Amino acid sequence: MANAELMEKIVSLCKRRGFIYPSAEIYGGFRSTYDYGPLGVAMLRNVKNQWWHAMVERRRDVVGLDASILSTPKIWEASGHLANFTDPLVDCRKCKERWRADHIDGVCPNCGSSDLTPSREFNMMFKTHAGPVESDGSVAYLRPETAQGMFINFANVLTTSRKRPPFGIAQVGKSFRNEITPGNFVFRTREFEQMEMEFFVPPNEAQTWFEYWYQERFAWYQENGIPSEMLRLRHHEKEELSHYSAGTVDIEFDFPWGWGELEGIANRTDFDLKSHQSASGEKLEYFDQVTNSRYTPYVIEPAAGATRAMMAFLIASYREDEVEGEVRVVLGLHPKIAPIQVAILPLMRKAPLMEKAGSIFSALSDRFLCDYDDTQSIGKRYRRQDEVGTPVCLTVDFDSLEDDTVTLRDRDSTSQIRAKVSDLPSEIDKLFSAFER
Ligand code: ATP
């Protein structure tokens, strides 16, 4: 399938099935903003939950945080964002479009004119005013990354959680960047969600932990269903490194238009803690009682985009095959990422079947993400569920009323088995275990 065609199909599926809608459509839209519909919000939550589970709940050395989005310019001054968080901007003098200079080739992609202004640095932070008075003193910024929340709370977390380096603080939440050229669907938007973790380590362990984290993070995408051939690691060249970084590796995904960043893992050294310490006057160090010495930890940061990752999961799982002579669209999502795990389908809209299916829904929905659907023919309902990535369909038929068994249909093989209602949790787990690596 041609790449442009694949993107078109995914964007259309997302809208048609309630994953992602262009925002404010009834008002003609608002450039590059999106709303996540019933299935999209469920899938995005799964992506974030899987990340949180792997990065926080499953580990004794990482704790969570939820910091404020709106905060004082002092943070962004100390972090270097006010001075450095810029992209080179050029204007086309002919059609007035604006472009990121490093994304174009000296020619306006809109009108083809080469009459462009010289490039100038454009700060990507959204500026606003906190409170009723719009003065210099009320300026505030929406965070362009979640990371600074972890640095400014380093001392709070250290004293309240009784952790000591090596340990991490993780956060999932919205970030905002006034991107000059957002695009490629939800790959680059001005409002997006990040999943970031700052891992504080003794400086002499920084390189070891850096290597550990990029391997862990590379494995995470595969564990959640992205085939390894669609992923690669890219080490940044020295001249490409950010002002704070002693080493960066990107995890890249094979997007339909080429390789693109999913996540960056950086050795941020002691840059952030030292900057905030000197700007705030508060000590942001660790006193090691064993060696009786004080030091500023180095930080290893795996920084991922939740919305961008969701898009990669959609692209990686999209396929078309043939079932009973018909083209079938399938999202082959991992059950941990799929917005619906089990679709419960009474064969027909007959009261006893609907009642039994309803009671199975109540019993299973505490353990699995379930959907109940009694519209249309069973064949059409299977196709609908295949198209949104539901790994298991459960059908309640007339035999179910007699012998308390139901049909379980596997999305990928379309094969069916008969299972006892009392065995459903373990039978479904067995079907899901095929996805574990
Ligand atoms: P890019 O080079 O694509 O602009 P970046 O290197 O500036 O990204 P980071 O600052 O490292 O990105 O942010 C970490 C992650 O946050 C990225 O890997 C990406 O997944 C996500 N991200 C960054 N900017 C956006 C955006 N505008 N829209 C959606 N996701 C984003």
* Cα–Cα distance, 77 to 296 (Å, whole number): 20
Domains and CATH numbers, the chain: 3-70+145-314 (3.30.930.10), 340-433 (3.40.50.800)
Does 206 show up as a binding residue in the annotation? no
* Cα–Cα distance, 41 to 51 (Å, whole number): 15
pLDDT tens-digit map of 26-78: 999 998 899 999 999 999 999 999 999 999 999 999 999 999 999 999 999 99
Structure tokens of 374? 């009694």
Let me know: does 390 contact 338? Beta carbons within 8 Å: yes
Q: Which of 39-48, 136-145, 201-210, 310-319 has the lowest mean pLDDT?
A: 136-145
Protein residue with least CA distance to atom 3, ligand 1 = 261
Spell out the residues 6+ positions from residue 85 whose beta carbon is closer than 8 angstroms to its own: 76, 123, 124, 125, 144
* Cα–Cα distance, 293 to 290 (Å, whole number): 8
Percent of the chain scoring above 70 in pLDDT: 100
* Average pLDDT over the chain, rounded to an integer: 95
Q: What's the 381 CA to ligand 1 centre distance in angstroms? A: 37
Let me know: does 213 contact 303? Beta carbons within 8 Å: no
pLDDT tens-digit map of 334-345: 999 999 999 999
Protein residue with least CA distance to atom 1, ligand 1 = 261
* Cα–Cα distance, 338 to 404 (Å, whole number): 27
How far are the Cα atoms of 194, 278, 389, 405, 435 from residue 333, in angstroms, in the given order?
Answer: 21, 47, 5, 27, 10
Does 305 show up as a binding residue in the annotation? yes
Candidate of 188, 218, 272, 300 to mutate for ligand 1, largest count of ligand atoms within 8 Å of Cβ: 188
Let me know: does 388 contact 339? Beta carbons within 8 Å: yes
Q: What's the 263 CA to ligand 1 centre distance in angstroms? A: 7
State the pLDDT at residue 241: 85
Atom of ligand 1 nearest to the CA of 261: 18
CA-derived radius of gyration, the chain? 25
Does 190 show up as a binding residue in the annotation? yes
Q: Is the CB of 312 under 6 A from ligand 1?
A: no
* Cα–Cα distance, 427 to 185 (Å, whole number): 38
